[in-house]
Amino acid sequence: MPDTALPTVLTTSRAPGRGLPLQVAQKVAQRILTGHYPPGTTIPIESALAEEFAVSRSVLREAVKLLSAKGLLTTRPKLGTLVRPESDWSHLDPDLLVWRAELGVDERFARHLAEVRRLLESEAAVLAARRASPDEKAKILAAMEVMEAAQTLGAQVSADLAFHRCVLEAAGNPLLLSLGGAVWGALAVSFAVGTRDERQWRATLPRHRRLAEAIAAGDEGAARAAMLDIIVRHIGEVRANPTVGSD
């Protein structure tokens, strides 16, 4: 069985030296993400939260600033600190992705991510099959071999991400690559959720192999179909494993 720790790409909030404000921000953010503090409501007053978390008011203020920058909170005179509408949240912020992962990825988040992937990656696979150079094809096939050799959850998620990045790079469109980078953390979260069972992981490998070989053969239709198969099946895996552990 693969290990259950979050891979390195998902542990930004645990990095040493980021301080108390980020730790407090995480606690408040997770209450927002779970609906404990719904959009449009005010969070408890500064003194109450500072006492609850056993931190100074200055630390609490810094935490609020962090969450304001991430689109979760806004402070208004005489009204207090309000939770902003979900449409304002920076959903692809690395810290928010980590905190969401530790709560577990719900089906709604997974569905939204799948919709983005269908738009982005299926066409990237077509372009890769059309444009990939011999070196890029060799790189994709090599990344496939790394996936097949991966043994732990961290190695599997990292290898999966690296494979998909190789496909985006082979598409030959720097704008597409940048868009892919914007959802990278979300993909890492989603991959970590789906990669919880050794049998499930091994079952994904032939699908990725078909994609790699379709691109290597320059078969655009097969590349699109293989990528869509990967994405659609991954949704089922996420539904079967809705929670990521935090240890």
Domain extent for 52: 8-88
In terms of domains, do 74 and 125 share one?
no
183 token code pair = 């959802």
pLDDT at 229 over 90: yes
Q: What is the pTM of this model?
A: 0.72
Q: What is the CATH number of the domain that holds 41?
A: 1.10.10.10
Same domain, 115 and 200: yes
CA atoms within 13 A on the CB side of 152: 8
Q: Note whether 152 and 223 are same-domain residues.
A: yes
111 and 209 within one domain: yes
Asked if 154 contacts 11 with a C-beta cutoff of 8 angstroms, the reply is no
What single-letter amino acid sits at 173?
N
Place of tokens 């599997």: 156
Same domain, 82 and 31: yes
pLDDT attached to residue 5? 43
Q: Note whether residue 1 is domain-resident.
A: no
pLDDT, tens digit, 9 for 90 and up, residues 154-171: 888 889 989 999 999 999
115 shares its domain with 235: yes
51 shares its domain with 154: no
In a domain, 24, yes or no: yes
89 compared with 180, residue with greater pLDDT: 89
| Whether pLDDT at 99 is above 80 | yes
- List, for residues 30-57, the tens digit of each pLDDT value: 999 999 999 999 999 999 999 999 999 9
- 64 and 113 assigned to the same domain: no
User: Are residue 132 and residue 216 in the same domain, yes or no?
Assistant: yes
pLDDT surpassing 90 at residue 216: yes
Percent of the chain with pLDDT over 70: 84
Say if residue 182's pLDDT is above 80: no
Shared domain for 233 and 140, answered yes or no, is yes
Do 111 and 228 lie in one domain? The reply is yes
Mean pLDDT, range 69-96, rounded to an integer: 93
Residue 152 has pLDDT above 90, yes or no: no
DSSP annotation of 77: T
- Number of domains composing the chain: 2
What pLDDT score does 188 carry?
Answer: 75
